[in-house]
Amino acid sequence: MFCLVSSWKFVVVHMNHESCKLWLPRWTMEKMERLLYEASLEGNLNMLLMLLQEDPLILDRVTLDRHGDTPLHIASMLGHVNFVKEVIARKPHLTMECDSQKRLPLHIASVKGHIEIVKLLLSANPETCLASDRDGRNPLHLAAVKGRCEVVKELGLAQPHAARAMVQQETILHLCVKHNQLEVLKLLIETMSDHEFINTKDADGNTILHLAVSDKQIETINFLLFNTTIEVNATNINGETLMDILAQGPRDVKDQQIIQALTRAGVVEDENESLFGQMPQNCISKMTFGDLEYYKKLNLEKDLKNNGDWLDKKRNALMVVASLIATMAFQAGTNPPSGVWQDDSTNDPLHKAGYAVMALNHPNLYHIFLASNTVGFVSTLSIILLLISGLPFVKHHVFVWGLMVTMWIATVSMSLAYMVSIWVLTPKPGSLIMNVVFGIVLIWYGLTTVLVVGHSTIRLTKNIFQKLRFSRRRPS
The pLDDT of residue 403 is above 80? no
**Span 269-288, mean pLDDT?**
44
Query: Higher-confidence residue: 462 or 307?
Result: 462
Name the 3-class secondary structure at 425: helix
- What is the sign, positive or negative, of the torsion defined by CA atoms of 457, 461, 462, 464? positive
User: What burial class does residue 195 get, using C-beta atoms within 10 Å of its C-beta: 0-12 exposed, 13-18 middle, 19+ buried?
Assistant: exposed
Dihedral angle of Cα 268, 274, 279, 282, to the nearest 10 degrees: 60
Q: What is the pTM of this model?
A: 0.54
Could you read off the pLDDT of 269-278 as tens digits, one per residue?
544 444 444 4
The pLDDT of residue 196 is above 50? yes
pLDDT at residue 327 in the model: 86
pLDDT at residue 470 in the model: 52
Closest by CA to 109, choosing from 84, 153, 76, is 76
pLDDT at residue 81 in the model: 95
Contact 281, 308 (CB under 8 A): no
pLDDT at residue 350 in the model: 76
In the predicted model, what is the mean pLDDT of the chain?
79
Residue 426's pLDDT band, with cuts at 50, 70 and 90, is confident
Contact 106, 83 (CB under 8 A): no
Taking CA 92 as the corner, what is the angle to CA 89 and CA 94, rounded to the nearest 5 degrees?
A: 125
Could you read off the pLDDT of 214-257 as tens digits, one per residue?
999 999 999 999 999 999 999 999 889 998 888 887 877 788 88
The pLDDT of residue 116 is above 70? yes
Contact 115, 83 (CB under 8 A): no
Helix 105-112 to helix 139-146 angle (10° resolution) is: 20
The pLDDT of residue 289 is above 50? no
Contact 75, 83 (CB under 8 A): yes
The pLDDT of residue 165 is above 90? yes
Q: Alpha helices, DSSP H only, in 93-171? A: 105-112, 115-124, 139-146, 149-158
pLDDT at residue 340 in the model: 82
